[in-house]
Chain A
Amino acid sequence: QVQLQESGPGLVKPSETLSLTCAVSGYSISSGYYWGWIRQPPGKGLEWIGSIYHSGSTYYNPSLKSRVTISVDTSKNQFSLKLSSVTAADTAVYYCARLDSSSWETSLDYWGQGTLVTVSS
C-alpha cells in the first residue's frame, strides 16, 4: 500500500521560505509516476502547486512558478516543496500526492493526510 506523509514547520514567518517534505512508503519514487503538491486555504478549494516526474522534470502552477521549487531525493524516497517569500495568503493545508498521467487522462491516486502551514509573525 502506497503511503505519503508530509512533514515540516507548521508556522512560517512572512517573507520567509516554506519548506515541506513528503516521505513515500510502499513504492519507489524512482520507478515512475509524477509526485506533487496541492494546497487548500481554510474554507477554500484545492489548488495544484506543482509536480515532479521521477526523472526530475517539473511542472509548476503559473501563478506560483516564480516562488516554487519542487525536488526529489530518490535515495530517501521523498520529495520536497519550497515556497519563497510567503505571505498570509499562503496559509493552507498542504497535501502531497502521487499523480498518474497519460496522454488522455490523469489522476491523483494517493494522498498524504495534509499538514497545516500558517504564515504569521
Chain B
Amino acid sequence: SSELTQDPAVSVALGQTVRITCQGDSLRSYYASWYQQKPGQAPVLVIYGKNNRPSGIPDRFSGSSSGNTASLTITGAQAEDEADYYCNSRDSSGNWVFGGGTKLTVL
C-alpha cells in the first residue's frame, strides 16, 4: 500500500509534549519527512531523515521511527506551533505520498 495515515486532529496544552504519528508500509524502508503548514502559507519542512532539522527549525521538534510508524514530537509546544502537519515518504514504486494531515491545536 502507498498510503500514509495520520490522525485528523490532535491537541496539546501550552508547554506540554505532543506526538503526531504517521503509519504506512512504505515507512518500513523509507524515513518520513514532516511539514508544518499554517493557514495561507506554503508548507515548511521541519524534520527529515532519521531525525534532522533544517536550519531555523527549533530543537523542540524531533522525529523518530519504528516499524511502519513515524512520529513527530514537539517538546514544550508553543502557541506558534498550532498548524497542520503532514508526513511524506516514497512508496515501493518510487512515488511520493503524503499523509492526510494532522491539525494541531495548542490549548
Residues in A lying within 8 Å of B, measured CB to CB: 36, 38, 45-48, 51, 59-62, 95, 99-101, 104-109, 111-114
Residues of A contacting B: mostly: strand
Answer yes or no: B33 CB below 8 A from chain A CBs: yes
- The total number of A-B Cβ pairs within 8 Å is 71
A-B contact pairs, 24 of them (CB 8 A): A45-B84, A45-B86, A45-B98, A45-B100, A46-B35, A46-B101, A47-B98, A48-B95, A48-B96, A62-B93, A100-B48, A101-B90, A105-B30, A105-B31, A105-B48, A106-B90, A107-B88, A108-B45, A109-B45, A111-B42, A111-B43, A111-B44, A113-B42, A114-B42
- Residue interface mask B88-107, A partner, CB < 8 A = 1: 11100111111111000000
Question: In the complex, which residues of chain A have a beta carbon less than 8 angstroms from the beta carbon of B50?
Answer: 105
Closest A-chain residue to B50, C-beta based?
A: A105
Distance (Å) between the CB of B64 and the closest chain A CB? 14
Which of A51, A62, A107 is the one whose CB lies under 8 Å from B33?
A: A107
User: Are A99 and B96 also in contact (CB < 8 A) when A46-B101, A106-B33, A107-B49 are?
Assistant: yes
Q: Is A106 in contact with B88, judged by CB distance below 8 angstroms?
A: yes
